[in-house]
Amino acid sequence: MTTGTTRKVLLLPGDGIGPEVMAPVAELLLELAKRKVLPVEVREGLIGGAAYDKTGHPLPPETVSLALDSDAVLLAAVGGPRYDTLPYEHRPERALLGIREKLGAFANLRPAKLIPQLANASTLKPEVIAGLDLLVVRELTGGIYFGAPRGIVTENGVRVGINTERYSEPEIERIARVAFTVARNRRKKVTSVDKANVLESSVLWREVVTRVQKDFPEVALDHMYVDNAAMQLVRNPGQFDVIVTGNIFGDILSDEASQLTGSIGMLASASVGGRTGLFEPIHGSAPDIAGKDMANPSAMFLSFAMLLDHSLREPGLARSLERGVESVLGEGIRTKDIAEPGSQVVGCAEMGRRITRAFWTHHEKGADKT
Ligand code: IPM
Ligand code: MG
């Protein structure tokens, strides 16, 4: 039983399958509060297309204030075809970038770990992905996503689209520190990914990461160009422990890494660095299956586990939840996206109930404390 001050958690279900995958996690959170396992106040807010429909803005100011006043934010997914034709500023994706920036969540941790029960889900050969356990540390509030100048301008009658890749020394230094710090508790290896053969921002990136490593002598560092890294990830992913990289390279490589496990519906992420952490599944809003009770809520539960770990400092509860997910998979219970011959396919709500039940079993067995 946990004591201490009440922590505030903001839930942002968003669009598409978001509300469906959030529902069982919200229920678990409320139950944790009710049983006084976790002193937590649960709030809910609007984001993405859902927010645009109600308020005319994908990231309403009330959502930002609620987020800044919370200890952690759990976000499901944003976006959908209905919003694809909106002007850039009103697109649901802008809300994602906006909330990351407002929260100062500059470090995006995206683990890609093979769950043994799902080894057959990958398109790669089993021997290539055996034991796969890597973490992409993606810089999240800088680089070409935010650099100025940007825009679409007309020069001598010709339209030109402009974006700027830009990294300052402090921005590189702080993300490098996060990468080396997490690597210390892992296999103690960091691969820094850049394009230093072409881009000055990468030359500086490489220099600063190399310097920061001196403060972490127990962690090994190597550097890789991004094109090679993309290739090495499918050739021999086992060589990676922690990959640290800038915003756009991290966007691309983390999608690639997630697919190595074959099950994007299983992968969680944490965006940290500010006072309030932001936790979200890697998968999107999957409009094609929204509202059909087909989505896989596992990544949402595992994102909540990351929230318990990083923001609420409840590693015991986080482990029980991870074990809960694994034991349900171990029983052969699957959502459609990860179904295998012989497994029992259930819907999103039922998967959520099973995971919740398995969590409580582990929790009550005292697995939290081990
Ligand atoms: C991600 C997504 C976002 C990104 C999009 C939706 C803005 O791809 O979280 O990786 O590019 O950061
Ligand atoms: Mg992405």
> pLDDT digit string (tens) for 157-180?
999 999 999 999 999 999 999 999
Active-site residue 227, yes or no? yes
The domain 1-111+264-370 having CATH identifier 3.40.718.10: the answer here is yes
Beta bridge partners of 162: 151
From 86, 96, 145, give the residue whose CB has the most ligand 1 atoms within 8 Å, as the site to mutate. 96
Highest mean pLDDT pick, 16-25, 88-97, 252-261, 360-369: 16-25
Q: Two tokens at 4? A: 């201490």
Separation CA 94–CA 81 (nearest Å): 15
Please count the other Cβ atoms lying within 10 Å of the Cβ belonging to residue 236. 10
- The pLDDT confidence band at residue 343, using thresholds 50, 70 and 90, is very high
pLDDT band for position 259 (50/70/90)? Answer: confident
Residue nearest atom 12 in ligand 1 by C-alpha distance:
251
Residue 213 confidence (pLDDT) above 50: yes
In this structure, of 228-232, 236-240, 263-267, the range with the lowest mean pLDDT score is 263-267
pTM of the model: 0.93
Strands 40-44 and 7-14: parallel
Q: What does the domain layout of the chain look like in residue ranges?
A: 1-111+264-370, 123-260
Look at residue 137 in the predicted model and tell me its pLDDT: 98
Q: What is 123-260's CATH topology? A: Isopropylmalate Dehydrogenase (3.40.718)
Domains 1-111+264-370 and 123-260 belong to one CATH topology? yes
**What does the pLDDT read at residue 366?**
80
Q: Are 190 and 219 in contact (CB under 8 A)?
A: yes
Q: Is the pLDDT of residue 142 over 70?
A: yes
- Per the annotation, the verdict on 251 as an active-site residue is yes
- How far apart (Å, rounded) are the C-alpha atoms in residues 39 and 242? 33
Q: Name the residue at shortest CA distance from atom 4 of ligand 1.
A: 251
Taking each helix axis from N to C terminus, what angle separates 348-364 and 315-330, rounded to the nearest 10 degrees?
120
Average of per-residue pLDDT across 68-90: 95
Compute the distance from residue 196 Cα to the ligand 1 centre, in Å.
24
Q: Give the separation between CA 294 and CA 5, rounded to whole angstroms.
A: 37
Name the active-site residue from 71, 145, 167, 194: 145
- Which ligand places an atom closest to the C-alpha of 256? 2
- 350: exposed, middle or buried (C-beta count within 10 Å: 0-12, 13-18, 19+)? middle
Which whole number is the average pLDDT over 237-254?
97
Average pLDDT over residues 351-369: 90
| Model confidence at 206: pLDDT above 50 | yes
Q: Is 34 helix (H, G, I), strand (E, B) or coil?
A: helix
Which is catalytic among the residues 71, 241, 251, 337? Answer: 251
Beta strand extents in 227-338 (DSSP E only): 242-245, 268-272, 277-281, 333-334
* Matching residue, tokens 């560092």: 221
Rounded to an integer, the average pLDDT of 242-247 is 98
Average pLDDT over residues 109-137: 90
Among protein residues, the one with the nearest Cα to ligand 1's atom 5 is 93
Kindly report the length of the chain.
Answer: 370
Please tell me the predicted confidence (pLDDT) of residue 367.
Answer: 59
Going from the Cα of 251 to the center of ligand 2, the distance in angstroms, rounded, reads 4
Q: What is the pLDDT of residues 30-72, one digit of tens each?
A: 999 999 999 999 999 999 999 999 999 999 999 999 999 999 9
According to DSSP, the residues that pair with 333 across neighbouring strands are: 344
Closest protein CA for atom 8 of ligand 1? 251
Write the residue with the smallest CA distance to atom 3 of ligand 1: 93
- Rounded to whole angstroms, the Cα distance separating 309 from 301 reads 12
State residue 249's pLDDT score. Answer: 98
Output the pLDDT for position 292: 98
Distances (CA, A) of 299 to 49, 269, 346: 21, 9, 16
Q: How confident is the model at residue 4 (pLDDT cuts 50, 70, 90)?
A: low
CA distances from 273 to 72, 109, 138, 141, 185 (A): 12, 11, 12, 10, 18
Note the pLDDT of residue 351. Answer: 98
For atom 11 of ligand 1, the residue with the nearest CA is 251
The Cα 142–Cα 122 span in angstroms is 32
pLDDT of residue 86: 94
Best CA proximity match to 111, nearest among 236, 264, 273: 264
Are the C-beta atoms of 1 and 39 separated by less than 8 Å?
no
Would the pLDDT of 368 be above 80?
no
Distance CA 333, CA 344 (A): 5
Task: Please give the mean pLDDT across all residues of the chain.
Answer: 95
Of 85-89, 189-193, 275-279, least confident by mean pLDDT is: 85-89
**Residue 1 — pLDDT band, cuts 50, 70, 90?**
very low
For residues 8 and 22, give the distance between their C-alpha atoms in angstroms, rounded to a whole number.
17
Ligand 1 pocket by Cβ (under 6 Å):
93, 96-97, 251
Band of residue 336 on the pLDDT scale cut at 50, 70, 90: very high
The alpha carbon of 365 and the centre of ligand 1 are apart by a number of angstroms equal to: 38
Q: Which of 53, 84, 222, 255 is catalytic?
A: 255
Q: Give Cβ neighbours of residue 266 (< 8 Å, ≥ 6 apart).
A: 115, 118, 296, 298, 299, 302, 325, 338
Q: Answer for the pair 5, 278: CB distance below 8 angstroms, yes or no.
A: no
- CA of residue 271 to ligand 2 center, whole Å: 13
Report yes or no: 242 and 253 within 8 Å, Cβ to Cβ: no
Section 300-328 average pLDDT: 96
Question: Which of 251, 259, 264, 278 gets mutated to test ligand 1 (max ligand atoms within 8 A of its CB)?
Answer: 251
pLDDT at 2: 46
Q: Active site residue: 195, 309, 337, 368, which one?
A: 195
More confident residue, 305 or 121: 305
Per-residue pLDDT tens for 6-26? 999 999 999 999 999 999 999
DSSP per residue, 62-115: HHHHHHHTSSEEEEEE---GGGTTS-GGGSHHHHHHHHHHHHT--EEEEEEE--
